């Protein structure tokens, strides 16, 4: 992201916090950022798109930090979970005022893509919870992983919503440890109960796929992984192969963002098309159609 685009997003978040989304104007955001009003329209087509990008920017920052903690081999599974939870809550606290105002003004109606964002965040949160639960509690709780994940997702949403809507400060460390301890209680209770789980993994997977419509970022990443795997089996010039691997990596990184740049996607897909050996071209074309038509 360019420095100017980052400057505009930060300014928009501050103005939304002071005035709310509906009352904020592009002129006020430009003044806050110290740029000409026209400069904003070079990056965002409307205030709606700017608000959408502001939400995406916050969530992308959270995801990057979660990925860093996921890769930290010095943490136990429980320490990793608590730290990841703290990071999410801390970002919520840092952005609480403008997110609260956006929420009260019915954010789903701000941009046509917002409901899709909400579903994607829900799906990714569920996936993170399932992975954490399985790593923390092992086989004893494996049958109940979906039940625990859904209960914790509900608890997270309600607790954070209470703090945001009520204007109550979030205490990231205290709240993360409290919620992790409650998850311990739920897991231990279910493991002792011997009851039949309410939700099984295949049911939850099917729901997430249905909500995503079978397309979108998850399927893009799967298609890019398939291309990279197939590249291993295809003869290609060493330099071309290295450049194609790098291009696919950049494409995957951009596609993982909540609001990927269509200009960047189009340019990178064109580059991948130009480099792809014959056996991969039909797969590349299929991926390009899906990503650019979304």
What global pTM score does this model have?
A: 0.72
Which range, 54-63, 144-153, 261-270, is most confident? Answer: 144-153
Distance CA 112, CA 48 (A): 9
Query: To 10 degrees, what angle do helices 114-137 and 77-94 make?
Result: 150
CA dihedral 88, 89, 93, 94 (to 10 degrees): -30
The residue whose two tokens read 């897909």 is: 269
DSSP letter string, 149-164: HHHHHHHHHHHHHHHH
Mean pLDDT across the chain, nearest whole number?
A: 85
Of all residues in the chain, what percent carry a pLDDT higher than 90? 32
Q: For the residues 218-228, what does the mean pLDDT come to?
A: 77
Phi, psi (rounded to 5 degrees) for 188: -65, -40
Angle between helix 201-212 and 145-166 (nearest 10) = 50
Which pLDDT band, with edges at 50, 70 and 90, does 195 fall under? very high
Cα–Cα distance for residue pair 19/34, rounded to 1 Å: 18
Structure tokens at 145: 């992983």
Least confident of 103-107, 154-158, 274-278: 103-107
Region 241-247: mean pLDDT is: 85
Least confidently predicted of 68-82, 158-172, 217-231? 217-231
User: Which residue in 144, 149, 217, 212 sits closest to 179, CA to CA?
Assistant: 149
Residue 216: pLDDT band (50, 70, 90) is low
Tell me if 153 sits within 8 A of 172, measured CB to CB: no
What pLDDT was estimated at residue 82? 97
What pLDDT is attached to residue 109? 61
Rounded to whole angstroms, how far apart are CA atoms 110 and 120? 17
Nearest to 191 by CA among 129, 138, 153, 130: 138
Secondary structure letter of residue 260 according to DSSP: -
């Amino acid at each position: 992201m360019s420095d100017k685009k980052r400057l505009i997003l930060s300014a928009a978040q501050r103005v939304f916090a002071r005035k709310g989304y509906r009352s904020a104007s592009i002129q006020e955001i430009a003044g806050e950022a110290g740029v000409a009003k026209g400069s904003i329209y070079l990056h965002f087509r409307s205030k709606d798109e700017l608000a959408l990008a502001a939400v995406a920017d916050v969530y992308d920052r959270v995801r990057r930090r979660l990925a860093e903690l996921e890769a930290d081999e010095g943490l136990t599974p429980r320490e990793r979970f608590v730290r990841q939870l703290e990071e999410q809550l801390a970002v919520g606290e840092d952005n609480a005022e403008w997110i609260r105002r956006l929420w009260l003004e019915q954010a789903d109606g701000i941009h046509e893509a917002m409901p899709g964002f909400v579903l994607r965040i829900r799906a990714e949160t569920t996936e993170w919870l399932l992975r954490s639960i399985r790593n923390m509690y092992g086989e004893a709780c494996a049958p109940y992983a979906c039940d625990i994940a859904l209960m914790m997702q509900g608890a997270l949403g309600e607790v954070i919503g209470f703090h945001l809507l009520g204007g109550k400060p979030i205490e990231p460390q205290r709240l993360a440890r409290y919620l992790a301890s409650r998850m311990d209680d739920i897991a231990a209770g279910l493991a002792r109960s011997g009851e039949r789980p309410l939700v099984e993994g295949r049911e939850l997977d099917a729901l997430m796929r249905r909500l995503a419509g079978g397309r979108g970022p998850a399927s893009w990443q799967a298609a890019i992984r398939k291309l990279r795997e197939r590249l291993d089996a295809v003869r290609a010039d060493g330099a071309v192969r290295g450049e194609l691997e790098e291009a696919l990596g950049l494409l995957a990184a951009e596609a993982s963002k909540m609001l990927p740049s269509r200009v960047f996607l189009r340019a990178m897909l064109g580059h991948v098309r130009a480099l792809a050996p014959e056996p991969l071209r039909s797969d590349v074309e299929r991926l390009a159609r899906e990503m650019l038509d979304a």
